[in-house]
Every structure is written in C-alpha cells, then in structure tokens.
Amino acid sequence: MVGGNGGGGELGHLVVREGGLDCSAGSYGAVEAYCQRDAIVRRAVYGLQRGRKSSLGEAVGNELSRVTPKLIAEGADGGDELCQEVLAEVGQVLGVAIGNAINIFAPEVVAVGGQIALAGEWILAPARRAARSVAIPSLFEFATIVQGERIDDAGVLGAAALAMG
C-alpha cells in the first residue's frame, strides 16, 4: 500500500487503546507501543522490578538489560506466569489490530512475523481471540492467523515487497 504522499499503510501505528502507552510516532495506545520488541521487554522488566517472581531473573543473572523476547517466550513455555501474562497482553493488542485489518482488507491469511512470532501460540492464541471479537464474523471466518515462516526476514521481505509493488 502506498498513500498519496508516498507513505505506506502503517498498521503498527493503529491506535488500539485510546490514551494508552506512548508510541515513538507521538500517539498513545498504538500497536507498536505494546508489540514492538523493546515494549515487550520493558513490560517484563517492569514486572521484575515490581517484585514479580519469574524465571527471567535467573536466566539473565538479574542483569535486566539481557532480557529478550526469546527468553520471555522460553519462560512462558516453562510455566512462568509473568512471561505468559506479558505475551497474552501483546497477543490481545495485536489481535485487535489484526481484527481491524481483517475488517478493512479481508485477507485470507495473516502471517505474524518478526521476533514477536517466536512466542508462537502464546501470542497467536490471544491474538486470534481478540481478532475474532472485533472482526466482522463473516470476514473473520475466512481469515487464518498463522506464524510466519520467515520470522527473521519479515522486515526485509516487507520492505522488498513494498519496493517492488
């Protein structure tokens, strides 16, 4: 998608929580403010700083700057409640955006890529629930939300597709 000013559709800047967390683009409550790599890490670190019990502290030797989305996903797989809650919130926010995108574009497949996709069903299950709750039922019925196959290349492939488009 390319708009009249040459910009593309920025679904990451779609506001999904009015008055929510601040986004780098100056708005509040945008998808990126919750689902971008640093936002995910920040939410987990905040939980640790507030005294939440978590396997993350041990995994990084209490050096909170070493927390990564991959470690959060591994913690969720291991039963860590903080990690599971962080990923559930990310999935819920992402799902609202996906549901709105389904309403606008009626895609058959929505592939979630990038580091966020490393969490697999910890992100995708709540994303599907949230998307279902906001999408038009007849459109959601024909959309499938899946983990992208080329997780590490998502940004590069998207940029290439836009350039070739």
Domains of the chain, first to last: 12-164 (3.30.420.40)
Measuring CA to CA, how many Å separate 91 from each of 56, 59, 75, 119? 20, 23, 16, 10
Which pLDDT belongs to residue 159? 47
Which pLDDT belongs to residue 160? 44
HSE-up (13 A, CA, CB side) for residue 13: 8
The alpha-helical segments, DSSP class H, found in the chain are 31-35, 37-49, 55-59, 69-77, 81-105, 121-134, 137-140, 154-164
Question: pLDDT for 114-153, tens place per residue?
Answer: 888 989 999 999 999 999 999 999 999 999 999 998 656 5
Mean pLDDT of the chain, nearest integer: 88
Question: Amino acid letter at 135?
Answer: A
CA–CA separation, 57 vs 59, rounded Å? 6
Most confident stretch, 11-25, 75-89, 148-162: 75-89
Indicate the pLDDT class of residue 154, thresholds 50, 70 and 90.
low
**CA-based nearest residue to 102, from 138, 151, 147:** 138
Which pLDDT belongs to residue 13? 80
Question: pLDDT for 59-95, tens place per residue?
Answer: 999 899 999 999 999 999 999 999 999 999 999 999 9
Residue showing tokens 């995108």: 101
pLDDT at 54 over 90: yes
The alpha-helical segments, DSSP class H, found in 106-153 are 121-134, 137-140
